[in-house]
Structure 1
Amino acid sequence: MVRDKKKRFVLDTNVLLHEPLAIYSFQEHDVVIPMTVLEELDQIKDRRKDISRDARVAIRTLEDCLVDASPEEILQGVLLNHPNAPDDELGTLSIFPDHQIQFANPVALPGDNNDNLIINSALYLQQQSDDEIVLVTKDINMRLKAKGAGLKKVEDYRTDQLVDDIQFLAKGFAELEGNLWDYIKEVSSEQRGREVYHTLARNELPEESLYINQYLIDDSKLFCGQVKEVNDQQVLLRDLGQERLMGYHAWGINPKNVYQGMAMQALLDPNIDMVILTGPAGSGKTLLSLAAALEQVVEQRRYDKVIVTRNTPEIAESIGFLPGTEEEKMTPWLAAVTDTLEVLHKQDESPAGSLQYIMDKANIQFKSMNFMRGRSIQNAFVLLDECQNLTPSQLKTIITRMGEGTKLVCSGNLAQIDSNYLTAVTSGLTYVVERFKNFEGSANVYLNGVVRSRLAKFAENEL
């Protein structure tokens, strides 16, 4: 077997910030880190922001690979010590001294701009080497500049990208045309306690991809099933019924459409450990989550407390300068939750008194994500809001904090990403939707439709 021509990948800083272990993602090919990238990581690692942690992890990863190498070996390339790859498939890692570049021809981009210095590194290697040189960056404008400067190969970092287009992201449900039972030839139904389950032939369902806890609804406005088991031959559906879904309620809140009904069912199901809610602003993600949390903490006593946290790009930098305790410092960024509490209790005789009573009764705690690391959270209902601004590694850090008896709700709107390093397809929210599709302890629902107000609905559709 003839192996393809070896490539040398020049990594931009934002690749290592997005995925600190990215150097291990290029199989047998070589990885080059320009000195400018190390300088940028050094400047970022001490900032009081979330990305500083990723910068430190990236630096430690590089140091682990190069710790025993001589200066000459670092320039030539040190074998990457990937734990899962055989020796003959490992590439090398090298540091490129881009400040010492002397071009044979005046093809370099001018100035001391860091992006230009990194592009110049790739251009120099392309000029001096017979290997295929590829610049990898998540910066769209930098990719355009590099191509304009004459670099032949420029790529986005897509190793952890699970979907090519956000329109292909799993919604958590499938909408079938017509009446489901019109094209089902054989069905075996059985009663298990209060629930009815249907066993169908897999090839009779038109939906191409089915996964655990996915919902199926049809145009009859009557049927709704939830996939509990699926293989190449059969599908086991739990019969929920759309009318039954619309009858769910929590803390005085009833679903306004079938999508909210599916979300409410998942939020109240004790067998589901993680619920992922996506959808546009005003679709009810926070309202449903908080109502379900209060219902199960105060009324059902299924959990001991409600923990609310979210990611904000500037939180790590500014939280220390706000007055008060950690919870008081978090209040400005969690106004969406307190607004929702006001909505839930606006009809009370004394709304302010009710809010404080419920805050104490439900033991609602506002926590900064910065202080979630290292914890083990037990018997809690955890609301993680604005997940679209988290990287996959950051979300993994939070999810792995969840202990026994804890339910996690991850919610976010992929159209409102504030991070400079993320897009809809590389967001941690997209990542967990795809990764947890086949986990029996999770459910995902895209809340289709804005119910906040007609003004919000018009703005979502037209702006």
Structure 2
Amino acid sequence: MKKKYVLDTNVLLQDPNAIFAFDDNEVVIPAVVLEEIDSKKRNADELGRNARQVSRLLDSLRAKGNLSDGVLLESGGSIKVELNHKSFSKLQEAFAELTNDNRILAVALNYHLEEQASGEPSPVIIVSKDTLVRIKADVLGLTAQDYLTDRIVAQSDIYTGCLTLQVHPSVIDEFYSYRFLTVNSLNLSYTLNPHEFVILKDELGTSKSALLKVNAEGKRLEPLFISNEPIWGISARNAQQRMALELLLNDEIPLVTLTGKAGTGKTLLTLAAGLMKIEDEHKYKKLLIARPVVPMGKDIGYLPGEKDEKLRPWMQPIYDNLEFLFDTKKSGDIDKILAGMGSIQVEALTYIRGRSIPGQFIIIDEAQNLSKHEVKTIVSRVGEGSKIVLLGDPEQIDHPYLDASSNGLTYVVERFKQESVSGHITLERGERSHLAQLAADLL
């Protein structure tokens, strides 16, 4: 039986191609959704881009017929801009205020009541990424769903980059004797990804263990190539941090992604590795550090001053880590050091479009606030001889239309996990302080 899907505005602003994602069912776009999309189309951000894309897609469908009557799609379904089911009378008893959300709910409710009065009612489903809209729909007796097509992977299945295996102690002994294992010798029912880390533990319960990494071809397990010596005064404090440094210091891996809760050391480890590669080994000519300008909480508005002065509040977390690495004593010392070095550049991602960035160690902090389109734009800027590192915590997203399963950082992790040019690790243990770890776990 065909279904009627009534789409909320946020679905189209998140994924303009959502109108084609409902197979052979009928897609209904309330007229108020077009008004909301129109109000966003002049924005210079991702929402504005998506609003313009939705407008172009709907305009192209006009060539096939009148949208108010319904236009057939190649999937066998149809799409319709609804003008005749907007009566607010049935909804007023529950929600009296004439908001745009309530107007969308009114369309869905009127469709639902009309279908119930017919002999063979079709299911009417409202699709929204707004939790309260779905709750209101439930109160009204309507079926409501989140839009899940844009999710890269279920949150519980997000790739961590590390696997723990219980094996017979003879397997661990074999590794220490020959300094490698073949993946086939483990007789796994699944495939290991290139540069994936494996912790072998004794299935008999002894303390015998080994830490290995899958090679670029995905066929051998080899020991980690770096020692645990300090890098710019920073040493790995746990196994995951050592794995992170293994990826960060490997010049054969041009794309590295690090995820983890606050305080796990993502930014500090990456900055230390970048400084080592630039200042000590001279592998890259510049360290470029950038982060999206997405506020937590209410935006403080426009900031006075030149570009660097405007960026300073947004980039302060980067400067805090640099001050720790350079062991500065006075306020302002880090600015003098960076000005004297000339090899470290701190930027906002606003200015990265159109650039080509060769021979640089690029760090993108807070990458969980990037959309799939934005992260594609950034990674595609990487030039010959550059290395890019994406950092972030998918659980701390300030972007209104993204979540742990649909953000750009998770997108890169999942799409590149089988590629030999990339490596990923999820840092689990906080090392900032005992209080910070408790806050990350309990709050």
Task: Establish whether TM, by shorter chain, passes 0.5.
Answer: yes
| Structure 2 letter corresponding to 1:223 | A
Unpaired stretches in structure 1, ≥5 consecutive residues: 81-86, 191-195
Within 5 Å, give how 1:272-311 maps onto structure 2.
Answer: 272-311=253-292
Distance 2:149 2:82 in 1: 23
Distance 1:146 1:100 in 2: 15
The answer on whether the counterparts of 1:198 and 1:239 sit within 8 Å (CA) in structure 2 is no
Write out per-residue CA displacement over residues 25-65 of structure 1, whole angstroms, 9 at most, x where no aligned residue: 22232322111111111222334654333323332332333
The answer on whether the counterparts of 2:360 and 2:385 sit within 8 Å (CA) in structure 1 is yes
The answer on whether the counterparts of 1:49 and 1:313 sit within 8 Å (CA) in structure 2 is no
| Structure 2 letter corresponding to 1:264 | L
Q: Secondary structure at 1:246's aligned position in 2? A: coil
1:163 maps to what in 2? 153
Q: Secondary structure at 2:363's aligned position in 1? A: strand
Pick the aligned partner of 1:391 from 363, 367, 371: 371
Structure 1 residue 24 corresponds to structure 2 residue 11? no
The answer on whether the counterparts of 2:371 and 2:402 sit within 8 Å (CA) in structure 1 is yes
Structure 1 residues 6, 223: closer, same or farther in 2, change over 3 A?
Answer: same
Structure 1 residues 237, 119: closer, same or farther in 2, change over 3 A?
Answer: same
Q: Secondary structure at 1:144's aligned position in 2? A: helix
Q: Secondary structure at 1:75's aligned position in 2? A: coil
| Structure 2 letter corresponding to 1:423 | D
Distance 1:414 1:395 in 2: 14
Structure 1 residues 98, 212: closer, same or farther in 2, change over 3 A?
Answer: farther
Q: Secondary structure at 1:225's aligned position in 2? A: strand
2:204 maps to what in 1? none
Structure 1 residues 229, 380: closer, same or farther in 2, change over 3 A?
Answer: closer
Distance 1:30 1:334 in 2: 47
| Structure 2 letter corresponding to 1:211 | N
For structure 1, which segment, 220-229 or 115-124, has the greater mean C-alpha deviation from structure 2 after superposition?
220-229
Structure 1 residues 156, 40: closer, same or farther in 2, change over 3 A?
Answer: same
Displacement after TM superposition at 1:100 (Å): 4.6
| Structure 2 letter corresponding to 1:113 | T
2:82 maps to what in 1? 96
Structure 1 residue 78 corresponds to structure 2 residue 71? yes
2:118 maps to what in 1? none
Structure 1 residues 392, 167: closer, same or farther in 2, change over 3 A?
Answer: same
1:246 maps to what in 2? 228
Pick the aligned partner of 2:10 from 9, 14, 25: 14
Displacement after TM superposition at 1:362 (Å): 5.1
The answer on whether the counterparts of 2:86 and 2:107 sit within 8 Å (CA) in structure 1 is no
Write out per-residue CA displacement over residues 49-84 of structure 1, whole angstroms, 9 at most, x where no aligned residue: 543333233323323333x355xx11122234xxxx
| Structure 1 letter corresponding to 2:156 | Q
Write out per-residue CA displacement over residues 218-269 of structure 1, whole angstroms, 9 at most, x where no aligned residue: 34576221122678xxx4212227xx5523x433322121211110110111
The answer on whether the counterparts of 1:278 and 1:445 sit within 8 Å (CA) in structure 2 is yes
Structure 1 residue 201 corresponds to structure 2 residue 194? no
Distance 2:302 2:400 in 1: 24
Pick the aligned partner of 1:53 from 44, 49, 55: 49
Write out per-residue CA displacement over residues 401-458 of structure 1, whole angstroms, 9 at most, x where no aligned residue: 2222221111111222222222222222222222221111111111121111222123
| Structure 1 letter corresponding to 2:151 | Q
The answer on whether the counterparts of 1:8 and 1:131 sit within 8 Å (CA) in structure 2 is yes
Q: Secondary structure at 2:16's aligned position in 1? A: coil
Write out per-residue CA displacement over residues 336-357 of structure 1, whole angstroms, 9 at most, x where no aligned residue: 11000000011x6888556533
1:182 maps to what in 2? 170
The answer on whether the counterparts of 1:186 and 1:200 sit within 8 Å (CA) in structure 2 is no
| Structure 2 letter corresponding to 1:163 | V
Structure 1 residue 116 corresponds to structure 2 residue 102? yes
Distance 2:81 2:347 in 1: 40
For structure 1, which segment, 300-309 or 48-57, has the greater mean C-alpha deviation from structure 2 after superposition?
48-57
Displacement after TM superposition at 1:114 (Å): 1.0
Distance 1:375 1:98 in 2: 48
TM-score normalised by length of structure 2: 0.87
Structure 1 residue 324 corresponds to structure 2 residue 301? no
Structure 1 residues 198, 209: closer, same or farther in 2, change over 3 A?
Answer: closer
Structure 1 residue 215 corresponds to structure 2 residue 197? yes
For structure 1, which segment, 10-19 or 371-380, has the greater mean C-alpha deviation from structure 2 after superposition?
371-380
| Structure 1 letter corresponding to 2:221 | L
Within 5 Å, give how 1:340-355 maps onto structure 2.
Answer: 340-346=321-327, 352-353=332-333
| Structure 2 letter corresponding to 1:345 | F
Distance 1:331 1:405 in 2: 29
Q: Secondary structure at 2:241's aligned position in 1? A: helix
Unpaired stretches in structure 2, ≥5 consecutive residues: 116-120, 202-206
The answer on whether the counterparts of 1:229 and 1:237 sit within 8 Å (CA) in structure 2 is no
Structure 1 residues 360, 61: closer, same or farther in 2, change over 3 A?
Answer: farther
Distance 1:105 1:176 in 2: 56
Structure 1 residues 339, 349: closer, same or farther in 2, change over 3 A?
Answer: closer
| Structure 2 letter corresponding to 1:336 | P
The answer on whether the counterparts of 1:246 and 1:257 sit within 8 Å (CA) in structure 2 is no
1:172 maps to what in 2? 161
Structure 1 residue 429 corresponds to structure 2 residue 425? no
The answer on whether the counterparts of 2:9 and 2:36 sit within 8 Å (CA) in structure 1 is yes
Pick the aligned partner of 1:336 from 317, 321, 344: 317
Structure 1 residues 24, 377: closer, same or farther in 2, change over 3 A?
Answer: farther
Equivalent residues, number: 432
Q: Secondary structure at 1:174's aligned position in 2? A: strand
Structure 1 residues 339, 229: closer, same or farther in 2, change over 3 A?
Answer: closer
The answer on whether the counterparts of 2:224 and 2:246 sit within 8 Å (CA) in structure 1 is no
Aligned-pair RMSD on alpha carbons? 3.1
Q: Secondary structure at 2:107's aligned position in 1? A: helix
Displacement after TM superposition at 1:288 (Å): 0.8
Distance 1:377 1:9 in 2: 44
Q: Secondary structure at 2:68's aligned position in 1? A: helix
Q: Secondary structure at 2:389's aligned position in 1? A: strand
The answer on whether the counterparts of 2:10 and 2:129 sit within 8 Å (CA) in structure 1 is yes
| Structure 2 letter corresponding to 1:312 | V
